[in-house]
């Protein structure tokens, strides 16, 4: 499951890119949008025109799982189970989610569950179905605080060892001391780092097009997600180099021994 | 002069990231200041174990609580002592 507590930090973006990355590495993957009422993963994936049934149709027995799954034509083995748009968060129960997850496990190598913001039923549903958790945060006080709360709740619900993605890092701001850096955040949250994704226009462009950035080999954020994908597959991959070249001020600072 | 330059170049301590870190640290002390009954019990048992090396205490009336106000979170323990153990080392 991909979760964060706070909204708008990049759960859906991350789910789309992880799912696409894993599928292009040859795994059979299903993306599950559990943000009922605020369906988004379909548009980020560019699959919004092909929806017939949704997750609530499946859990309430309106249709079979196979009928609701949308096959991504770009990848042999990538599927989407869309959220319902007209129902509310309570339309799926944790028990139903558990059953669904068990069914998905039979069919797929990976099921990537995109969570809604918050810690209410949508979050509890995702917990009920998930074996592993990825926590997304940005380098901001409010996002890190919510991530801390989420990590506590995950552990209280036996989802041990969640892994962290720090999204929207801006190396220029980090460098001048106006943004918390990776080690600051890891110090505070004390969990394992899965990856760091820079703030990148290509995310906006790829979302406009409905083609996840991980497919774009000139995208920095795409490269970050490709590395994250490999780490999920168990490879050891170094962090991307996000350093910015030294400017005049840096050289001056060094000269007078300030760094 | 040097101070002026260093202020111009932005010193570490006043950078907004350090303000963010300090605010986060404080807010998380509060957010995390809930302790499950299970953990509180374990803490009590461990306390009793350690303190009993030095004195005999009234385990039944022992109280341990996490108190919080705006500025800080404190672990407050009220541990009635029944009997002190003799301290040979310092009397020796
Ligand atoms: N690394 C990034 N660089 C630039 N924009 C980003 C990045 N990550 C996310 N965004 C943008 O932030 C917004 C919120 O992202 P989204 O994935 O929908 O968050 P969530 O699902 O957590 O609410 C989207 O408009 C998305 O395009
Ligand atoms: Mg979302």
Q: Could you read off the pLDDT of B73-82 as tens digits, one per residue?
A: 788 999 999 9
Q: Which two tokens stand for residue A198?
A: 């820079």
Ligand 1, atom nearest to A14 Cα? 17
- Work out the burial of residue A230: count CB atoms within 10 Å of its CB; fewer than 13 is exposed, 13-18 middle, 19 or more buried: middle
Beta bridge partners of A235: none
The helix (H) or strand (E) run that includes residue B40 is: helix B37-51
**pLDDT tens-digit series, residues A87-108:** 887 899 999 999 999 999 999 9
Q: Specify whether the CB–CB gap between A111 and A80 falls below 8 A.
A: no
Q: What is the dihedral of CA A218, A219, A220, A224, to 10 degrees?
A: -110
**pLDDT tens-digit series, residues A68-79:** 999 999 998 999
Domain boundaries defined on chain B: 1-32, 35-92
CA distance A102 to A34: 16
**pLDDT of B66 over the 50 cut:** yes
Paired sense of beta strands A192-198 and A134-137, if any: unpaired
> Residues in chain A whose beta carbon is closer than 8 A to a beta carbon of chain B?
140-141, 144-145, 148-149, 152, 174, 176-181, 184, 188, 249, 252-253, 256, 258
**pLDDT of A63 over the 60 cut:** yes
Query: Which residues, chain by chain, have CB under 5 Å from ion ligand 2?
Result: A 11-12, 40
Greater model confidence, A208 or B65 = A208
Name the residue among A178, A184, A258 with its Cβ closest to that of B21: A184
**pLDDT tens-digit series, residues B13-53:** 679 999 999 999 988 988 888 777 888 889 999 999 999 99
**pLDDT of A9 over the 70 cut:** yes
Instruction: Give residue A141's pLDDT.
Output: 97
CA distance A24 to A29: 10
Given the structure tokens 């041990």, which residue do they identify?
A160
Sheet with A29-33, side-by-side order of all strands = A70-71, A78-81, A29-33, A110-114, A2-3, A134-137, A163-169, A192-198
Among the ranges given (A125-134, A209-218, B9-18), the one the predictor scored with the smallest mean pLDDT: B9-18
Confidence of residue B3 (pLDDT cuts 50, 70, 90): low
- Write the DSSP string, A66-124: HHHPEEPTTSTTEEEEPPPSSS-GGGS-HHHHHHHHHHHHHH-SEEEEEPPSSSSHHHH
Contact across the interface for B18 and A177, Cβ inside 8 Å: yes
Instruction: Give residue B92's pLDDT.
Output: 46
Top CATH class, A2-255? alpha beta
Given the structure tokens 């760094």, which residue do they identify?
A259
Q: What is the pTM of this model?
A: 0.84
């Amino acid at each position: 499951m991909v979760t964060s507590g706070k909204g708008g930090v990049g759960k859906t973006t991350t789910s789309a890119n992880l799912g696409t990355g894993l599928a292009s590495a040859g795994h059979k993957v299903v993306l599950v949008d559990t943000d009922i009422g605020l369906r988004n993963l379909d548009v980020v994936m560019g699959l919004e025109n092909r929806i017939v049934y949704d997750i609530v149709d499946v859990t309430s027995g309106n249709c079979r799982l196979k009928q609701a799954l949308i096959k991504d034509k770009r990848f042999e083995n990538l599927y989407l189970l869309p959220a319902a748009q007209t129902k509310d968060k309570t339309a799926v129960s944790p028990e139903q989610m558990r059953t669904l997850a068990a069914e998905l496990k039979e069919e797929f190598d990976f099921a990537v569950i995109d969570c809604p913001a918050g810690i209410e039923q949508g979050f509890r549903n995702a917990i009920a179905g998930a074996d592993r958790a990825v926590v997304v945060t940005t380098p901001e006080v409010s996002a890190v605080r919510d991530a801390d709360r989420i990590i506590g709740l995950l552990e209280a619900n036996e989802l041990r060892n969640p892994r962290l993605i720090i999204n929207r890092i801006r190396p220029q701001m980090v460098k001048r001391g106006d943004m918390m850096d990776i080690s600051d955040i890891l110090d505070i949250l004390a969990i394992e780092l899965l990856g760091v994704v820079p703030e990148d226009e290509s995310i906006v462009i790829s979302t406009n097009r409905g083609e996840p950035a991980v497919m774009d080999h000139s995208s920095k954020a795409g490269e970050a997600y490709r590395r994250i994908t490999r780490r999920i597959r168990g490879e050891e991959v170094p962090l991307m180099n996000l350093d910015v070249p030294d400017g005049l001020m840096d050289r001056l600072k060094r000269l007078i021994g300030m760094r | 002069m040097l101070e002026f330059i260093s202020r111009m170049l932005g010193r570490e301590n006043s950078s907004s990231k350090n303000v963010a870190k300090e605010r986060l640290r404080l807010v998380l002390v509060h957010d995390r200041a809930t302790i499950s009954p299970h953990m509180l019990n374990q803490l009590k048992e461990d306390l009793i174990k350690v303190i009993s090396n030095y004195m005999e205490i009234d385990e039944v009336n022992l109280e341990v609580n996490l108190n919080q106000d705006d500025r800080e979170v404190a672990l407050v323990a009220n541990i009635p002592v029944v009997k002190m153990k003799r301290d040979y080392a310092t009397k020796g």
